[in-house]
């Protein structure tokens, strides 16, 4: 009996990693049982999951008995600090920010002690080789599992890596604590983009052998209907936070001169600023804000409403699922030349912008694209063809889950 232990931020609780809703169906077919360990979200509604999937609400926020922890595992704390001081270019931050790093490491180590006991209880009187551990993010769960390995958990793990979980520029402190030490522990590190793979291989050449690209995917739900006449419909689908550049998005769309219906899906901490700025849009642009919705609402919108273009102006991106969903319907896309975006935004799928584009000139390019290509049947067929060749869930997840099932062969 093959069992997968899947560690997530919040999935399958509503509000977290909704894109795992597709992947879990393929994982559940490849394994006899899947056990999900979410880190949070226990109070939220549980999303539908396959019958052979169960959820364990293990709370990592257990009381820390520092004296006992240091007596038993003080050598681990000392070792991880020493190794980072030797390996990391940020070594002096570990001294200047010692209190913060110490508290963080102690908390993760305490959680590692707990999850080690939880997993060993699950494996009691069972064949440990029949289990596979997979963490969806290279974040706290990966750190906890690395520490669990360090203190004797006799089972390595596979981790995905997306963007915020490796891109140090994202963080206020501009570094990921203990990353140089924890890189040793995953069996495989599976990046969702070639950009992420290359970033990690360049940063950690000694671990290049365990870093691979394994792209995400979305299902084929159909074609988006093509419209005639005005207005042209533009969709944006992203959170309203700083690196998504929502205010720059408003500036860009406001420069378009043709009649536009602009629909935005997504919410975030910049919501008020964003909505205030949309009040300044010119009369030729009708704006509709949908807020935070499930993936199924977005895909249903694509099935029932013509969309001429999906626009994304983020300054950081992995390969957004929102763009995968759009091209799966044959909807052309616009995105910036940052991180993993050029792996999905290209001449076959749409329009790739400079990362620091100027709104007026860029709006002219988008307008030409709308008029000449966005409703061209052949072009839209090629858009869908690119999805089929690169981001087809059935192909990507079937391959991934079957390989994950076999130890040491991802």
Q: What does the pLDDT read at residue 69?
A: 94
**251/368 same-domain check:** yes
The torsion of the CA quartet 321, 323, 328, 329, rounded to 10 degrees, works out to 130
**185/165 same-domain check:** yes
Q: For residues 406 and 129, what is the distance between their CA atoms, to the nearest angstrom?
A: 10
Q: For residues 45 and 13, what is the distance between their CA atoms, to the nearest angstrom?
A: 6
Domain membership of residue 222 (yes or no) is no
**207/288 same-domain check:** no
The pLDDT of 165-173, averaged and rounded, is: 82
pLDDT tens profile 228-265: 889 999 999 999 999 999 999 999 999 999 999 999 99
pLDDT band at 408 (very low <50, low <70, confident <90, very high): low
pLDDT band at 410 (very low <50, low <70, confident <90, very high): very low
pLDDT tens profile 198-238: 999 999 999 999 999 999 999 999 999 998 889 999 999 99
What is the three-class DSSP state of 137? coil
Domain membership of residue 158 (yes or no) is yes
With 0-12 / 13-18 / 19 or more C-beta atoms within 10 angstroms meaning exposed / middle / buried, residue 71 is exposed
What is the three-class DSSP state of 213? strand
- Report how far apart, in Å, the C-alpha atoms of 320 and of each of 72, 242, 344, 398 are: 43, 16, 9, 20
pLDDT band at 409 (very low <50, low <70, confident <90, very high): very low
- Report how far apart, in Å, the C-alpha atoms of 161 and of each of 118, 189, 196, 214, 216 are: 25, 7, 7, 10, 11
Domain membership of residue 276 (yes or no) is yes
Domain of 85 in residue numbering reads as 3-217+394-405
Domain membership of residue 410 (yes or no) is no
pLDDT tens profile 130-139: 999 999 999 9
**50/176 same-domain check:** yes
Domain membership of residue 119 (yes or no) is yes
Helices (H) and strands (E) in the chain, counts: 14, 13
Domain membership of residue 226 (yes or no) is no
**169/72 same-domain check:** yes
**122/26 same-domain check:** yes
**78/189 same-domain check:** yes
C-alpha angle 165-169-171 in degrees, rounded to nearest 5: 65
Total domains in the fold of the chain: 2
**180/259 same-domain check:** no
What is the average pLDDT score of the chain? 93
Element (H, E) at 140: helix 140-150
**259/207 same-domain check:** no
Q: What does the pLDDT read at residue 295?
A: 79
Q: For residues 76 and 84, what is the distance between their CA atoms, to the nearest angstrom?
A: 12
Asked whether the predicted pLDDT for residue 407 surpasses 80, the reply is no
The pLDDT of 273-292, averaged and rounded, is: 96
Q: Positive or negative CA dihedral for 279, 284, 286, 287?
A: negative
The CATH number of the domain holding residue 377 is 3.40.50.2000
DSSP H helical ranges for 194-293: 194-203, 246-254, 271-278
Asked whether the predicted pLDDT for residue 405 surpasses 90, the reply is no
pLDDT tens profile 137-161: 999 999 999 999 999 998 999 999 9
Q: What does the pLDDT read at residue 153?
A: 94
**210/246 same-domain check:** no
pLDDT tens profile 364-397: 999 999 999 999 999 999 999 999 999 999 999 9
Element (H, E) at 360: helix 359-372
Which residue, chain included where needed, has tokens 């935005």? 264
Lowest mean per-residue pLDDT among 61-70, 92-101, 162-171: 162-171
The answer to whether the predicted template modeling score (pTM) of the entire model surpasses 0.95 is no
**242/365 same-domain check:** yes
Which residue, chain included where needed, has tokens 């289990």? 131
pLDDT band at 168 (very low <50, low <70, confident <90, very high): confident
Element (H, E) at 76: helix 66-87
**284/360 same-domain check:** yes
Domain membership of residue 110 (yes or no) is yes
Which residue, chain included where needed, has tokens 């077919």? 29
Domain membership of residue 125 (yes or no) is yes
């Amino acid at each position: 009996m093959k069992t997968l232990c899947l560690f997530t931020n919040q999935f399958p609780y509503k509000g977290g990693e909704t894109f795992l809703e597709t992947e879990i169906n393929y994982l559940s077919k490849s394994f006899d049982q899947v056990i999900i360990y979410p880190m949070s979200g226990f109070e939220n509604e549980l999303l539908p999951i396959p019958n052979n999937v169960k959820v364990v609400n293990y709370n990592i926020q257990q009381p820390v008995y520092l004296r006992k922890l240091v007596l038993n595992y003080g050598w681990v704390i000392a070792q991880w600090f020493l190794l980072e001081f030797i390996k990391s270019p940020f070594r002096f931050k570990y001294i200047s920010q010692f209190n913060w790093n110490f508290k963080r490491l102690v908390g993760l180590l305490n959680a590692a002690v707990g999850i080690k006991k939880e997993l060993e209880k699950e494996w009691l009187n069972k064949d440990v080789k029949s289990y596979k551990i997979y963490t969806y993010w290279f974040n706290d769960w990966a750190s906890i599992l690395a520490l669990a390995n360090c203190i004797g958990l006799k089972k390595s793990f596979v981790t995905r890596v997306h963007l915020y979980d490796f891109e140090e520029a994202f963080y206020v402190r501009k570094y990921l604590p203990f990353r140089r030490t924890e890189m040793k522990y995953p069996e495989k590190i599976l990046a969702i983009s070639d950009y992420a793979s290359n970033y990690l291989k360049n940063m950690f050449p000694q671990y290049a052998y365990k870093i691979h690209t394994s792209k995400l995917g979305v299902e084929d739900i159909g074609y988006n209907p093509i419209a005639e006449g005005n207005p042209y419909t533009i969709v944006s689908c992203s959170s309203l936070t700083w690196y998504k550049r929502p205010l720059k998005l408003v500036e860009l769309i406001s420069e378009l001169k043709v009649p536009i219906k602009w629909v935005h899906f997504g919410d975030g901490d910049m919501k008020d600023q964003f909505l205030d700025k949309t009040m300044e849009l010119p009369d030729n642009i009708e704006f509709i804000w949908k807020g935070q919705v499930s993936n199924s609402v977005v895909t249903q919108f694509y099935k029932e409403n013509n969309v001429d273009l999906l626009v994304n102006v983020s300054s950081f991106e992995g390969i957004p699922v929102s763009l995968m969903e759009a091209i799966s319907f044959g909807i052309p896309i616009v995105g910036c030349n940052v991180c993993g975006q050029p792996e999905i935004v290209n001449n076959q799928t749409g329009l790739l912008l400079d990362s620091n584009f100027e709104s007026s000139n860029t709006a002219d390019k988008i307008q030409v694209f709308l008029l000449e290509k966005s409703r061209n049947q052949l072009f839209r067929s090629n858009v869908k063809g690119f999805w089929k060749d690169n981001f087809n869930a059935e192909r990507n997840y079937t391959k991934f889950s079957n390989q994950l099932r076999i130890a040491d062969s991802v």
